Amino acid sequence: MKIRAGFNIGYECIQPTPMLLVLNIHPSRRVDLLGEQVLMFDQPIEAFSYTDVFGNACSRIVAPPGPITISTQFEIYDDGQPDVIPESAVQHAIKDLPNDVLVFLLGSRYCDTDRLADFAWAKFSSTPLGWSRVKAICNFVHHHITFDYMKADALRTAYGGFTDRIGVCRDFAHLAIALCRCLNIPARYCTGYLGDIGVPADPNPMDFSAWFEVYLGGHWHTVDARHNTPRIGRILMATGRDATDVAMSTAFGPATLSRFEVITEEVR
């Protein structure tokens, strides 16, 4: 199947403002592109590409004073298959984990494991190791948090989502990631496109989506605590410890978001 995706994002700056952008698709999906995927700016701007420590394709710019719009649109091939359920994937002993996976066992800015560890062990220690435990965590998070687009809070942590019991897709991901890490399951945050393909249309405004991955059986596996069911057509943009590492933009100065439009649709 073919998917068309892209965005138009606008900012207002009061002075020249350095920015880091994580707005390209992940390098692992470039092979599926049916044309170029490039960032475009509505005025002359010099952009420098780099790869961050997590392997994400990023950009550096200095946004000029006044309004600026960043956009992209592309088409990409997708196999049209739902997320794989790794029912037989085993959980590794910590001593057997690759060195570069260990960081995804640690607490981070939004995944405050120290505040959730006691609950995690009391709630899930009796569940079977591996995928069964991950599924138990997802089932809990899916029913514990109520999705409300109007209740997004950029400062809410995993523990905040646990206590507030309301939030958006990033809150589902942060809480599930933190609980997995508490139970020695490496978990990392993912951001990307997820359109309403194969499911009823969501009445909420289209946005980038957040999900997560767990490391089991020697591989990273896609998991989605918000929808809690395999989905079709994910387009990965970036992975990291939590939302901090994959923020669509990080501005080193005042920058107001003035426009935000995301599209993701199947091309028939």
| CA separation, residue 47 to residues 5, 44, 58, 151, 243 (Å) | 21, 10, 10, 34, 23
* 2-79+248-267 and 94-231 agree in CATH topology: no
**Alpha-carbon gap, residue 105 to 100, rounded angstroms:** 11
Per-residue pLDDT band for 215 (boundaries 50, 70, 90) equals very high
The domain spans of the chain are 2-79+248-267, 94-231
pTM over 0.85: yes
Which CATH number does the domain 2-79+248-267 belong to among 1.20.1370.10, 2.60.40.2250, 2.60.40.1260, 3.40.220.10? Answer: 2.60.40.2250
**CATH class of residue range 94-231:** alpha beta
Segment 49-66, tens digit of pLDDT: 999 999 999 999 999 999
pLDDT value, residue 2: 97
